[in-house]
Amino acid sequence: MSSLSFRRMRRSMGLMALFPALLALSACQAPPMDEQEAVASHAQKAAEAAAAPTDETGKATEAPPVGSCDATQVQSLVGQPYTDAIGGQAQQDAGAKQKRVLRPSDITTMEFVGERLNIEVDEKETISGLRCG
């Protein structure tokens, strides 16, 4: 067998070995955007329905409490190193009654507290985001 045909055979064998991997990766695609949007819309409606008190007909009688926190006032802190002093000042500037520092390894609850400022920091203790809730 000539070396040229051996190379061709070896190359085609390598391509055939890649086929199962490509097939497996194609099965890992995200759901279509329409499906994602439908799920997100359904979850949003369920959250709104659960949060607002209703009367006998199912209509909301009042809006859920919003809280006093305004994270737009402290967005300039993103990218700065976090310290307790900066956290306290951010809480005051946002008008929040509580603050919570969220680190990458922290386990957090998902309840919404409209008077709480969440300060997200990365593994280097740099502020990566601020939000109320």
- Count other C-beta atoms under 10 Å from residue 122's C-beta: 12
44 and 80 housed in the same domain = no
91 lies in a domain?
Answer: yes
Check residue 91 and give left, alpha or beta (phi > 0: left; psi -120 to 50: alpha).
Answer: alpha
Domain that holds residue 98: 71-132
- Whether the model pTM is above 0.75: no
Contact call for residues 38 and 85 (beta carbons, < 8 A): no
**Are 124 and 80 spatial neighbours (Cβ–Cβ below 8 Å)?**
no
| Domain count along the chain | 2
91: domain CATH number is 3.30.10.10
Model pLDDT for residues 70-86, shown as the tens digit of each residue: 999 999 999 999 999 99
pLDDT tens, position by position, 16-53: 666 676 666 666 665 566 666 776 676 677 666 655 56
Residue 57 is assigned to a structural domain of this protein: no
